[in-house]
Structure 1
Amino acid sequence: MAQGSDDESENRLTKLSAFLFLHTEHLVYALLGGLLAATAALALLDAAGVLYEALKVLGGAKQMLDVIDRLLFLLMIVEILHTVRVSMRSGRLTCEPFLIVGLIASIRRVLVITLQSSEVMHGQMSDEKQAMFNASMIELGVLGGLILVMVVSIFLLHQASPSGARPAGEE
């Protein structure tokens, strides 16, 4: 009889701990989502301010790159927020949103490197400028390969999922 009581007590303890962990996880996800939403709102305001400043200059490549950089950063935050929402609904983590965030971050870096490289090319080429340009080209090559791998990975994930099926939480 003592054995049955121990099993029942252990079962109750397991259910209680599972309940507490699940609700703690949901609380953390909700707080994280709130912080990400606040960060996204601030990033949107910042991007709008940068866009306003860029419109004053009209045609400045550096200013336009800053606007695109801020918007891509905002897109990354929104994609992470989406991942948190889907994870809360489905109870599992999916890898596709992280691949998309990595893809956006890589494209963002490509844009920055391209602008920096074009600025280096103006004027007299010194050994230092040449070394910086060469390093930029290597980084662009690596980023290009990384972008290709992420695009192929996203494509393969879509091919592996049943046709027409959407990930949990994306109804």
Structure 2
Amino acid sequence: MAQDSEQEGRLTRVSAFVFLHTEHAVYAALGLLLAGTAILALIDATGLLFGAIRHLGGSGELLKIVDSLLFLLMLVEILHTVRVSMRSGRLTCEPFLIVGLIASIRRVLVITLQSSEVMHAPMTAEREALFRASMIELGVLSGLILTMVISIFLLHRARDDNEVAGKE
């Protein structure tokens, strides 16, 4: 009977070892893919910036640059979350709230630019419906952004050490 218990304990240790290393391997592969994607996004954003400088681009080009940079910021934040998860073995929610906040801000910028373009053109029934839908979406996004900011604030305040999530 003691031998069965010892064998079950050894099996548990071996399976925990295999699962832990498998998890780390998946995290490492995910980190490499995210890093590669982030580098490509940085190269793309740099190309967009130089193209806008050459042609003295308008608001459409500037929005593409800002959108690309915010996407890059989201990738870096997710990469940071993967790194922290590998080191600590814990998954924290604050980095995901930050990514959601950045994504919401990206969408607000896109909607704002699209709405300003709609306002400069003659108003038709279709444009008016698009404008109303955009305003509703902006309202929902504003509430979502406020909720995420409050959540980040409360998470930071509730933490004992008053450190930012993931700081080693």
Asked if TM exceeds 0.5, the reply is yes
State the percentage of identical aligned residues: 70
1:99-143 residue CA offsets vs partner (Å, 9 max, x unmatched): 000000000000000000111111210111000000000000000
Q: Report how far residue 165 of structure 1 moved.
A: 3.8
Match of 1:99 in 2: 97
Structure 2 residue 162 is matched with structure 1 residue 170: no
CA distance in 2 between partners of 1:78 and 1:111 (Å): 20
1:3-39 residue CA offsets vs partner (Å, 9 max, x unmatched): 0110011000000000000000000000000000000
Long gaps (5+) in structure 2: none
> In structure 2, what residue type is equivalent to 1:13?
L
> In structure 1, what residue type is equivalent to 2:31?
G
2:167 aligned counterpart, secondary structure: coil
Match of 1:80 in 2: 78
Q: 1:55 aligns with which of 31, 42, 53?
A: 53
> In structure 1, what residue type is equivalent to 2:123?
M
Structure 2 residue 62 is matched with structure 1 residue 64: yes
CA distance in 1 between partners of 2:65 and 2:52 (Å): 8
Q: 1:127 aligns with which of 94, 115, 125?
A: 125
Match of 2:158 in 1: 160
> In structure 2, what residue type is equivalent to 1:36?
L
> In structure 2, what residue type is equivalent to 1:92?
R
CA distance in 2 between partners of 1:15 and 1:125 (Å): 69
Q: Deviating runs (4+, > 4 A) in structure 1?
A: none
- Alignment length, in residue pairs? 168
Q: 2:134 aligns with which of 133, 136, 141?
A: 136
Give the CA RMSD over aligned residues.
1.0
The 1:32/1:121 distance shift into structure 2, 3 A limit, reads same
1:162 aligned counterpart, secondary structure: coil
CA distance in 1 between partners of 2:148 and 2:162 (Å): 22
The 1:75/1:166 distance shift into structure 2, 3 A limit, reads closer
> In structure 1, what residue type is equivalent to 2:29?
L
The 1:165/1:116 distance shift into structure 2, 3 A limit, reads closer
Q: TM-score, normalised by structure 2?
A: 0.97
Long gaps (5+) in structure 1: none
Match of 1:40 in 2: 38
CA distance in 2 between partners of 1:8 and 1:163 (Å): 40
CA distance in 1 between partners of 2:82 and 2:7 (Å): 34
